[in-house]
Each structure stands twice: as structure tokens, then as C-alpha cells.
Structure 1
């Protein structure tokens, strides 16, 4: 949070203090470099040396020093800026954590004069065990003389390390530190997303407070906030003239907190003041009050908006709209109806990014034209930056990129210990390097002159092996350049030139765009030999990059299955990242469910598509020594060929599963995927398993049944998340009430029941309670057979059907004990998918044995 704290020391003295009963379990207040404790705004900051209990400063010898200058600047807002701890080498503060969960990390910086170092130019880099908080920040180009930063991270271990990394031969420093527990309920995991924002849940992500505003009221300091927060006045961010806005306020005592919402969310001082619409004296009926904020367009932001109707004299007198970047975020907000009264606090969390890639983000409130009301209010606003895919809140480097050998899952290790390990292993490393060099030299003598940086790829197009001429390169008549062929393996893969890709896609003609995902746009293309292809071109501004590009090639070079999209080749010229796939004529499954004018799929088609996708996922999970976890299963990643055969696509986020022979049950990794499909257990524990794909597939099953998105923020709150909404109906035995209207009355009760039970098991809260993909596949096959049997045996009831099929028809959801070969789960071929398994051979014909 880069704003002035200071020059506001006379804080609301005419108001009594309001505190809650919350007491943080962890409460470290450190005055760095000071020789005595400092009292500031009702809190006591202790010196960092000698080390107090439960806290330590880890540095190498003579790499840390204290600087103190009590008379440095009489205009500083805090005595905490009058001393600092200076580091000439990497150093860390380590804090014992007694209650894992979210914690504030607050950092104070002021470059005190130092004759030996230029602190104004010192690049400040600060890390935790998992997050990059700051990277190479300097005061040299900063508009203020001091800096206050506030972060919120989820600490999952019993030790938190705060690391300071000097760079470029310079130094680092810190004036004061706060590490304070936060109530569990303060940050919800879910939030409404505004279009174009990428969001996968908040539980495992870091936050940085950029702005925290008290609309229409004075500065609020930790003296009046039980969580030690600052709330500044909003006037400097308003984008209107003073006559258009009026400030309103009431006595804080009149604020009535509802059940489940406490003053930790925001103090009564915030809800008792607001900016409201004055008499704008304009003829434009669409007039809005707008606030404008400067943000980094490469990040996504959490917006928490605080509302409390303190202007109405009766119920239902205030209805208005809320906008983010000109997109409607909350429509027809009626606070009194929503909360059942007036003067009752309410807040809304929204995830969004900047406006069209610019460096500004706007928040607006305005009247609802449908209702005959002429007012709108906003009481408070918090804007928090969300950490990116690198677990960074500043830049695009991860902790391991900045400090690659000094970080483990349990904390930052001592620098001395790392150095001793390096020197202790040096002799062995030299031997290994020599041996490796010798082996590579021998191999290079046998290899071709062309050096391919990627793994060899199978040339597969439309499900068949693509033939190539022998070892000569194919010359493009139009480009005049050769198409390079990897000869490192008999399983050849094609490396396309950029000119060939340009020709195939008519220079990336927008009319050929098939779709767009997290990696970039996908184009339809035609090669010189007439083969139709799909070309995925990486977007340099995408959150997915080289790592996902490499992962996709690595994964698909090892996989061949009828229900996995085949990778034909790739191009990595001119800093481009381009993947070439077989063309899927019928596009994504989602396009056939909703949002287009395509003919609706029949229930049988939907079941067959789900079965095909389940076969592909089952092969991923079981077809290799280490199973592969897709990690991004959703309806846009299930593609349909010309015959509506389903194929799983997009392996950029895929991860190798735990080794089967190492008694591991999960892979510990950062949370990635698509919001709405993510496994809640994976959210909580950051432990990825095959059952995470099963959960996502359960959401897909509901999308297929209901023909609506996994998340729809425009619906009432209880309907936003399809998993929660549909499972509520499933538990009441009324799933038939929410099926796609085009399927109404066209699904047999037995088939729907088996399908609903399958989805419910997939969406179990804990992975251990979910079936494996083999079991899911079995039960979907069962649902299809029930549907076919219902059509041909309409006069029989479900008990008769069961007696005809025998006990083999009973679905099962225990451990995955289905032989992989039944469903194409073993080996590298998919031939077994073309014929029914021995298990189903007796029930393929619905007329019985």
C-alpha cells in the first residue's frame, strides 16, 4: 500500500475508540535497529536485537548493522522511521507461527542518511518462504520519502521467514516489521469475477493492499481499527467536481452489524460515512460517481466494496448500480431488501484487472435506470493486488528464481549451511560433469547436425500417424525455407518454420480464429499438402508462457490415445511459441452446450462425449509409470472432431503424478487451474492428486446436464456456483428440475439417477471419498446402457432392467479396482477403445444375453 500514512497524528480524538474481542495469536511488532521499545498508536514495537522470544535474525557475520538517528526528520509520521537494520548480504528474520493461517506482513522503509551507503538507490528485494513481496524497489524514482507496505499471505507452516536480498553489490534495509495473525473469516476464498479477469481462488494466494479508503470520512488509524489498518480519505481519487458528490455521516453507534459480519471486516467508522450523489446539475441521466486508481496492468486485483444504507429513512428507498471499468459489477443493489433493514453493513468481493490493459482501474456507482431512485452510495473500498503465477506481488520472478538454492517448503535455510553443502558436493559434481561431458560427446558424434531443444514428437493427424519423406527436409516453395525434422527418434516430430505457419493461417487472419484460451488464440490453418490443422499461438502477455509451452510438448510427445488431441508439431522461431494440433471440426464441448446457436446435443450424444473424455483422463492417470494429472479439466478443453468424438486438450498446466513406487499420495505444488473447476481440497492443502481431475470432471458433468457455465456471477448468490447449486437439487432428489430445457422429458429416470450419483461422488469434499476415473467411466457407461435399455424396454421398470443385466450392472465407487486395459488405461495404444471390454460385452445389446 503505497500512500502517505503520515501528517494525520490528530486522529478522530472526538470519537470514542471501538475495539473487538479479537486478539491475534501471533503479534510481532519489531523496531529494526532500535535500542529500545517504541510506543506508536497504542502498540509497543520491540527492538530486533537482542532477539526476543519466538523470533530470530539470521545473518552471516558482520553482514548486519543498526543505524539510528532520532532527530533525522521531525516531519516523519512515525518514530518507527528513526532507526533501521542494514544488510550487506542476504539475511532473514524468522518468526515462530503458533496459529497457521493468514497473517499481515507490514513493512516500514525510510532511507536514513548513511555516510557509507546510498540508501536512496539501494534496490529492495523482500521474500517469504513462498512469495516475492518486493523486487528491486528503490526510492530514487519514488515520489515519497518513506514507504509503508502491507501484505496478506497464508502461512501454512510453524515458521515464517522474511528474507532481505541485496543485489547489484548494494545493500538492503528495513525500519520496522509487523507479523500479525488475521481472523480466518476476513478473506473469503471466492469472489465474483468481472470479464477478462483470471482467478482461481484466494486461499493459496498472496495479497498486497494497494488502496484502502474511508469514503466521505477522515483518516482511520490503528487506534480505531481492531486489526491495525489505515483507511485514508477518498477525495484524492474522485473523478468528479465537488458539487456532484456529497459526504454523508451518522453516529457510528447506530451501525448494526448482522450475524456473521464483525467489525474486523471494517470498523463502524467506515460504515458510518459515505460518498453519495449530490445534485450534479447535469442533464445526463447516466451520471455516475467515479474513482480512478493507478494499477499495474499485469496483475489481477481483489476489490472489496463496503456498503451501508445510512441515507434512507425507510426501506426500499435506495437502489443503484456498481461498475468496475465500465462493466456492471452489481446490478440493482437494494441494500435494505438485501439486509432486511437500514444502517446494516454489507460488503462484496470482486476480482478484476485494469481497464483494457491500461494502468488505470475505475470504480463507479450510479442510479438504476429501471428503478425511480436518484441516489447511490459507497462507504468504503479496499483494492488488493493478487499474486501472479510466479507467486510474486512484484515482477515475474519466483522465490526460487531469486534465491534458487536457499528456499525449502519449511523456510529459508541458513546461508552458511547452503554454502557448506555446495562446497561439500563440489568434488562429486566435478566427477559427474566430466562423465556427462564424455557421454554427450559420444552421442553428438552419432546425432544429426540439427539440434532440437524439444523432445521428439509423434506426427499424428486426425488420429493416424502422419507420413513423412525420409531424412531430407521439405522445402517450402512459398517461404524458401526448410521445415526442420527431428531425427533423434524413429517417432518423428515436425518443427515448423514461422513462414509455414504464416502461410497456413493467412498471416494469422482473425477470421480464422477458432477460440482463445489462457495461452493465446487458436487459428484454423491449412498446410501445403491440404491437411487442416489447429494452430495455437502463445500471447506474450498471457499468464501462461514458456513453462506451459514446454510442458505441452513434453506431455503430448509421450501420449497417444484416441481421446487425447494429437500434437502434430511446433514452432519456436522469432521468440514465438506456436503449437500445431490436429483440427477438431466441431470445436469445444462448451460451444455445443450454451452461448452459441449450434444445434443442441442429444442426451445420448452428451453421454458418449463424457465417456470419451473420461477414457482420455483415465488413460492419463494410468497409462504411464507416473500418472499425469491434467489440472485444467473443463468444457473448453474437451474438443469434438467431425464425428463428435471427444478428445481432451490443453496440457500446459499438466503435472506428473506421484511416483508409484515411492509410496506418495500427492504432488505438492502451487494452485493452478480454472476457477469454478478447482478441487477445494487442492485449494486448501496445495496437494495435487488425480482426484483433483475427478472433481473438475464432476463440474463438467453438471455443465453437460444443465447447459450453463460453472460460474455465473449474474445469477442469485445460491446459483452462482453450479456445483453447489446442482448438488442441492441432487440431494433433494430433484435433479430433473434443473436439466437443460432441450432435454426435458427426454432422459430416462434411471439414467439420470446414475449420472447424478456419479457427479455427486466426483464432487465430494475430500479426494479420498471420490472415485477414480476408471470407476467414473464404468458408471457413465452404465448410465448410457440404462438410457438405451429404457428406449427399447419402455414397458419395463428399473427393477426389470437390473434383473436382465445382472449384478455386473451395479455401479461402484470404491477404490479404483478396474483393470486399466478395459478402458484404454494401459500401454501406449488406444486400440482397445475401438471394441467393448469383456466386462461390457454382455450388456452392449440392450435385449439381454
Structure 2
């Protein structure tokens, strides 16, 4: 994910005085290294108050050289580029390096500007960028990017007197760059230490890692560009990342009121950041103890450095603003007395954390503030936020390729590194010998069938029923009957998955990893291997077992077996040939689904959810309805999957279940989020988002879009209420959808997305309306197509009352389980961004 820098409208407001010129922040730090390079330009370029010099006119401090002694070539376009900095570019046909003399070792910002100048076919250019130690970009191209231009910022610790930035074009392609910045930063800007979350504790060694800026936000304030920042940074407004807009209200003071201390210098953040904030607004709830939450889409394969900026600009007295800070579900700061920590009112304060992504949704990172229940004043505040990706074990910020694998580098003359490398290699060889010995001993010993290390789920035997332990409040699963299908030995699982070959990986969730498996007879499987180190995974694992042992339906996931040998917890599902619905809507090269196919898929999913809500003795709320949890078999029959977050519905004498908020952002019922009161109507809201996703073929949340388009539910509803839903539908459907069918579909989605659950229809009503929309489509097709003597298109049939359990059973056993036996499913698995 990337930040698009400098949006036209906001920049115009900025230049016109949206940020007052009478309060300009002046930097006190003068960087020892300050290279601003306009690549391919023949003259100086001024942009946002900074002057960039041509790379061809640099002094001996900067040089660029092709690895194969071939000259790169230059293009210039003065008419179409959005800003002067993008009017020229240097294109590389072979590996080429820029080398910068470094006067002062330490952290440096490396900023790269890209704009695929039209008529030069640069959108398909495959760009790889590395330094001597880190991979910054790998095979990036603009085909998968929504913006017109791109700005990347990295923070690299330079430990020598030079820095080389190398551009590597892919085979039969080119690389290019429009501008490069290499700027040293203050020594204390980023410490070597931070607080780690999950597990909590100190995190050391940040200076050895590379960071990439993913988000930098000015809460409650305008865009801040390089000319008004102490270190040439850009801070964007936070509004489009708020999960519930009404939960926050912006406040501001005169920037001159900000009083920097010895602990926080202006280089940490400009006074414009600390002079604005978001505080608790009117979330329309009876309980005022709600959180303000910001939601960020991130790469689930990396850890993140998170810096939170605070400044108490709202209190009238000391020690009156006390609140909590949450990152994902972890309490990062509890009972934070802001003025006490900062030393006074209007004094900046910040804290640094290292965390992974959300367990509930690995593609999401959330940051929240909320009031402390013991505080006299019910309020919370945040002024600024920075989120930076941390380089992985391969010293890369994208993928697993190392610099050495991408570029042959000359050996470094560093004796210390050679000695350390030798020691590490020796230890590695010794460890390998010990490992081989242990494996040999293990192979010779008998495989002992032992209980699972998942303490809440002691599984023994060859089948499963659900029961309650008499001595504890936790549910226990005992294998005493034949309801849970086949018992697989761990050896069978290993053979089926080729020892959990990573090339067979289908997806990763909060519980662990899922692999495609194949039995000796050729039967394909989906194998979910639980991760005992994931606390959330344990809870999800147990919930899914409990649900699946009770539920059977043609449109729900089916389970065919399990394995509980060798401290493993593995569930085995039939393989789902066409994977998740989402992969057939966007992000892949699959052919587009027809309108009829989409309606039939939505109807299938609605039937599954309708059965959950009404088919069992007590209703079940799925709580994580989304397009990655609707799976398609070889015939595109839809089945609802992943019951890890499911919850039993309210009893007959209750209206809701009070529970902590769980689910995936973008699909979460806002009423459930605010009130923490769960009902079946929460699934209905999520299903409404799915309907719009099916129609518009775009993600539920996309922060890189303009503010009004970020949330698909809000965006689509504005068009639906204008009666113009056809303007935003998938372009592959234009002219191919019956208007009456589309209208009924849109009305159904609109009802699902009603603000209050009481105004939303039941899944039974939704199912009826979707079937009616399908009938309208089929009737239209029958009237316009020649009669083929088939019964697929029957004209003029009126829909009767819904028969809710026509294809449903409350429990299936033995030979009655035909539907279950014929299903081909697996749970929340195929897309690593699943949950």
C-alpha cells in the first residue's frame, strides 16, 4: 500500500492559505546531507518550496552509472505532468545506480517520486529498487496501482560514507524514476527501542532495520506539505480512515500555543500537527464509553512501527484528560494522564510501538483511543499518527527476495562482518547437525498418538461430539461418536500436503495456515493446520468445531475429518474448486461473472445465512460475512465458510447478545460497533456490503480513493438513493442487466445497509427479494432469447411465500447427509488477506 502525495484540491487550499502563513514553523535542524535530484531534467525544478537540481549536473558528490556501461535515456514531457517534479524522468534499460557521498552517518530519508509519463508505455515498467543492504521495491508496476503518480519514503540507517540506490529493470522491461531525495535526519528522530505488542515487552534493534512510511496523519487538521514540515514530510488528513465519522470531532488551537519541551523537539512533528486533534464526538449511543477508531489496510506479512502523537489542547486544567490507547485489540497505553506525562497543557508527547496486524483481519491495522472509565472527564484525544513498515528477515520491504538475490554486489571489506558471518555460519552448521540427529531419532521412534496442545480442546479418539465439561465453564470436545468424520493420521496429512509444501499454501488466518492436499486416490482436500501460539486461533478453532459439529446445509461449509496427533490440531475440508467469491470479482484474471451467476451466488449465500439464523434450535450469528468467506465449488454453488467468530444468537427473551466487537472492517455493522450489541441484523448489514461488492467489483474499503469513495457502503448508497446505481456497477455488466432486476437488487442492498438494525430485513426477506430479482432477469432473458424448449426460463411465474427450510436440515447423519457429502468447501482460506 502507498500514500498518494499532494492531492490537487488540498494543495490548492494549502497554497491559498488554508494553513495560515503567519504561523509558519521554522526548522531548527539543518541536514548534513540534503540531495534533491530532478532525474532527467535539464534545469532546476522548484516544487513546494524546495529546489531540485538535475542529475546530469550534479557535482562529484552524486553520480550514476550503468552496471553494463550502457547509457540510460531521458524523456521529458512539459504538458501533462500534474506537478513540475514529474515533468521529466530518467529511464533505465539496464541496472543503474545513483551513488551519494554521505557526510554524516545515521538515519536518512530516501524519497522516490514516480509518474508514468503518458505515451511512453511506462505503466507496465517493472521497477526494482535496492540499496546496498535493503530491498525497497521489487517488481512494482502501475497496473496494480490506483493513483496517477507515486511517492515512496524510506528511513534507512546509513553506516558508511556513501549510499548507492540501484534501479533494476525486469527482463524485457525498463525502470524509471522522476526524482530522488536523500536527506539526513536528526539522530534522535527514531530511537533504537520501542514497545512491542503481542507479546508485550521491549523491542530493540530498530537502527538495524529499514522503515517505509505507509501512513502519516494530521488528526483533525489539513494536509501539511514539505514546505511547512520541519523535515520535509507530508501529513495527510485522517478523516477517510475513521471507522465511524460521527465518533470524532476535530479541535484546534493557534499553532503558536504549542510549547515544545526538552523531550520533544519540533523535528519530531511540526506544531501544525500538535495544534489540531480528533476528540470524542457524538456517536449516537446511550453509553458514552466508546472508542474513536482508525482503520488502515496493510500488508499482513510485515511488522509495523507505530508512532502516536498527543498534545492536550482541550483541557482547562492539569490531570483532567485520562484515556486509553489501543492498537488492534491490545491496550498500548492504559489510563494515560496526558498532561501529567507531557508535563503541562499544550506540550507535545509521543510514544513508539512495534506491532503486527490484527488477528481478526491480517490485512488491517487499527488504532483507537477511548475514555478511561475511572476518569472524571469522558474524552480521548489524538493529534498525529505515523505507521511505518519494518523490513523483514530478508532485509526487504516487499516480498522475500534479498539484495544478494537481486543484485551481485562486490564483497564489503569489513573484518567485523566477516568474523560475525563466520561465527554465525559455524553455529548454523552445528545447529543443522543437531537437527538432523533429532530427526533421525524421531523417525526411529514410534509415532505416539497424543492429546492436542490446544488446552481448551482435548481431542482423543476417532470421532467428535460437543459436550460441556462439568467442572469448568469452558466447552470441551470429546471424540466419542462418529459424527465428526474420518480420523487422519499426521503421516497421512504430511503425505497429502507434501510435508506442508509452501507452494500448496491456500491462505493464512488468525488460527494458522491452510494447504491444498491430495489423497492417494486423487481426492483434493483443504487442510487447516492450527497454530497453538495464536490465542485468537485457539478460540476460532474451537468455535468452528462446535459450529460444524452441529450444522449441515448445502450452502454451508462441510468438514470431512480431523487429526489430533503429535500436538497438532488439524481440520480437513473438501477442496473448493473455484475458491472465494472475492477472487472472481477483482484482483485476479478470472473471467467476469455474469449477472445471473452473481445473483445465484448471492442467493446461495443468503440461504446459508438464513439457515444459520433460523434453522437451529438457537440462532447462530456468523459475525464475519464477507466475500472471502463465501466459497464457490466447481459448479459455482456458493457456501458460507469460516465460523471462527460465530456466536450463538440471543435467547427468546433477549433482543441482542452483548459481546466485544469482532469482524472485518468495511463489513462491520456500525450499530454493533457503537453499542457492542450483536444481533442477526449485524450479519444482514455485512451481507449488504457483499451485495454492493458483487455489483461494483471493488473492495469494501479502499483508503487510496477519494474520501467519499473509501467505504463502498456509503459510496454506493449515495448512488442508490439517486436511482443511478447503474453508473457505478461493474463495467462488464453494462448493457447486460435487466433494469427491473438491478432495481430490486439495489433496493435489497439499501435495506440491508440501513443505519439501525430494526430497519433491516431478515435474511428470509432478503432471500425472497434476491430470488425475485433473479426471476426478473430470467424472465427478461426468456422474452428476448429464442425458445430452446428447455425449462430453464419459465415466463410469468409469480413467487409464492418463502419456504425457509426447503433445502435445510437441522442435523444430518449417516446416509441422509447427501448434500454435505457432495459439498466441496474449505474455511476462510484461499486469500491470505482473509481475516
1:498-537 equivalent positions in 2, closer than 5 A: 504-505=449-450
Partner Cα separation in structure 2 for residue 167 and residue 537 of structure 1: 31
Partner Cα separation in structure 2 for residue 103 and residue 221 of structure 1: 19
Partner Cα separation in structure 2 for residue 170 and residue 64 of structure 1: 13
1:111 Cα deviation from its structure 2 partner: 0.6
- Which residue pairs with 2:382 in the alignment? 378
Are the aligned partners of 1:276 and 1:376 in contact in 2 as well (CA < 8 Å)?
yes
CA 1:505/1:56 → structure 2, altered by over 3 Å: closer, same or farther?
farther
1:221 aligns with 2:229: no
- Which residue pairs with 1:49 in the alignment? 56
Among residues 395, 403, 416, which one is paired with 1:399 in the alignment?
A: 403
1:138 Cα deviation from its structure 2 partner: 0.8
1:368 aligns with 2:372: yes
Among residues 19, 40, 44, which one is paired with 1:33 in the alignment?
A: 40
1:173 aligns with 2:211: no
Partner Cα separation in structure 2 for residue 35 and residue 88 of structure 1: 20
1:58-69 equivalent positions in 2, closer than 5 A: 58-59=65-66, 60-69=68-77
- Which residue pairs with 1:335 in the alignment? 338
- Which residue pairs with 2:196 in the alignment? 193
Deviation per residue, 1:181-217 (Å, 9 max, x gap): 0000000111111114895430100000000000011
1:260 Cα deviation from its structure 2 partner: 3.0
Higher relative contact order (CA 8 A, sep 6+): 2
Structure 2: gaps of 5 or more residues = 415-431, 460-488, 492-498, 509-524, 530-835
1:458 Cα deviation from its structure 2 partner: 7.4
- Which residue pairs with 1:205 in the alignment? 209
CA 1:280/1:155 → structure 2, altered by over 3 Å: closer, same or farther?
same
1:229 Cα deviation from its structure 2 partner: 0.3
Partner Cα separation in structure 2 for residue 15 and residue 537 of structure 1: 63
Local SS of the residue matching 1:213? strand
CA RMSD for the aligned pairs?
3.4
1:113 Cα deviation from its structure 2 partner: 2.5
Aligned residues: 449
Local SS of the residue matching 1:328? strand
Among residues 99, 104, 113, which one is paired with 1:108 in the alignment?
A: 113
Are the aligned partners of 1:186 and 1:265 in contact in 2 as well (CA < 8 Å)?
yes
Are the aligned partners of 2:289 and 2:378 in contact in 1 as well (CA < 8 Å)?
no
Partner Cα separation in structure 2 for residue 176 and residue 143 of structure 1: 20
- Which residue pairs with 2:102 in the alignment? 97
Local SS of the residue matching 1:203? helix
- Which residue pairs with 1:6 in the alignment? 7
Partner Cα separation in structure 2 for residue 37 and residue 127 of structure 1: 26
1:781-800 equivalent positions in 2, closer than 5 A: none
- Which residue pairs with 2:140 in the alignment? 137
CA 1:267/1:62 → structure 2, altered by over 3 Å: closer, same or farther?
same
CA 1:283/1:22 → structure 2, altered by over 3 Å: closer, same or farther?
same
Are the aligned partners of 2:34 and 2:181 in contact in 1 as well (CA < 8 Å)?
yes
Partner Cα separation in structure 1 for residue 435 and residue 21 of structure 2: 74
Partner Cα separation in structure 1 for residue 333 and residue 200 of structure 2: 16
Task: Please say which of residues 255-264 and 144-153 is displaced more in the overlay.
Answer: 255-264
1:623-638 equivalent positions in 2, closer than 5 A: none
- Which residue pairs with 2:259 in the alignment? 256
1:402 Cα deviation from its structure 2 partner: 1.3
Deviation per residue, 1:289-319 (Å, 9 max, x gap): 1100000111001110000000011111111
Deviation per residue, 1:322-341 (Å, 9 max, x gap): 11112211111111122231
Local SS of the residue matching 2:4? coil
1:114-133 equivalent positions in 2, closer than 5 A: 114-115=119-120, 118-133=121-136
1:320-359 equivalent positions in 2, closer than 5 A: 320-356=323-359, 358-359=362-363
CA 1:494/1:277 → structure 2, altered by over 3 Å: closer, same or farther?
closer
CA 1:456/1:185 → structure 2, altered by over 3 Å: closer, same or farther?
closer
Partner Cα separation in structure 1 for residue 410 and residue 237 of structure 2: 40
1:49 Cα deviation from its structure 2 partner: 0.7
CA 1:375/1:67 → structure 2, altered by over 3 Å: closer, same or farther?
same
**Runs (4+) off by over 4 Å:** 196-200, 454-460, 492-497, 503-513, 536-542
1:495 Cα deviation from its structure 2 partner: 5.0
Partner Cα separation in structure 2 for residue 371 and residue 279 of structure 1: 19
Q: Between Structure 1 and Structure 2, whose CA radius of gyration is higher?
A: 1
- Which residue pairs with 1:155 in the alignment? 158
CA 1:496/1:277 → structure 2, altered by over 3 Å: closer, same or farther?
farther
Are the aligned partners of 1:191 and 1:350 in contact in 2 as well (CA < 8 Å)?
yes
- Which residue pairs with 1:315 in the alignment? 318
1:241 Cα deviation from its structure 2 partner: 2.9
CA 1:305/1:397 → structure 2, altered by over 3 Å: closer, same or farther?
same
What TM-score do you get using the length of structure 1 for normalisation? 0.49
Partner Cα separation in structure 2 for residue 369 and residue 390 of structure 1: 44
- Which residue pairs with 1:633 in the alignment? none
Partner Cα separation in structure 2 for residue 459 and residue 142 of structure 1: 49
Are the aligned partners of 1:129 and 1:408 in contact in 2 as well (CA < 8 Å)?
no
Are the aligned partners of 1:197 and 1:351 in contact in 2 as well (CA < 8 Å)?
no
Local SS of the residue matching 2:249? strand
1:459 Cα deviation from its structure 2 partner: 5.1
Are the aligned partners of 1:208 and 1:385 in contact in 2 as well (CA < 8 Å)?
yes
Partner Cα separation in structure 2 for residue 35 and residue 108 of structure 1: 17
- Which residue pairs with 2:300 in the alignment? 297
- Which residue pairs with 2:78 in the alignment? 70
Local SS of the residue matching 1:374? coil
CA 1:323/1:50 → structure 2, altered by over 3 Å: closer, same or farther?
same
- Which residue pairs with 1:84 in the alignment? 89
Among residues 280, 288, 303, which one is paired with 2:283 in the alignment?
A: 280
Partner Cα separation in structure 2 for residue 319 and residue 457 of structure 1: 52
CA 1:245/1:494 → structure 2, altered by over 3 Å: closer, same or farther?
closer
Local SS of the residue matching 1:400? helix
Partner Cα separation in structure 2 for residue 507 and residue 339 of structure 1: 49
CA 1:135/1:496 → structure 2, altered by over 3 Å: closer, same or farther?
farther
CA 1:65/1:157 → structure 2, altered by over 3 Å: closer, same or farther?
same
Partner Cα separation in structure 2 for residue 409 and residue 496 of structure 1: 45
- Which residue pairs with 2:272 in the alignment? 269
Are the aligned partners of 2:135 and 2:398 in contact in 1 as well (CA < 8 Å)?
yes
Are the aligned partners of 2:27 and 2:266 in contact in 1 as well (CA < 8 Å)?
yes
1:766-805 equivalent positions in 2, closer than 5 A: none
Partner Cα separation in structure 2 for residue 253 and residue 457 of structure 1: 63
What TM-score do you get using the length of structure 2 for normalisation? 0.50
Local SS of the residue matching 1:157? coil
Partner Cα separation in structure 2 for residue 102 and residue 130 of structure 1: 14
Partner Cα separation in structure 2 for residue 306 and residue 180 of structure 1: 23
CA 1:141/1:259 → structure 2, altered by over 3 Å: closer, same or farther?
same
Are the aligned partners of 2:27 and 2:231 in contact in 1 as well (CA < 8 Å)?
no
Partner Cα separation in structure 2 for residue 257 and residue 494 of structure 1: 62
Deviation per residue, 1:110-162 (Å, 9 max, x gap): 011345xx311111110000000011111012100100000001000111000
Deviation per residue, 1:238-294 (Å, 9 max, x gap): 11133x321110011111111132100000000000001123331134311110000
Are the aligned partners of 2:288 and 2:378 in contact in 1 as well (CA < 8 Å)?
no
CA 1:110/1:194 → structure 2, altered by over 3 Å: closer, same or farther?
same
CA 1:512/1:30 → structure 2, altered by over 3 Å: closer, same or farther?
farther
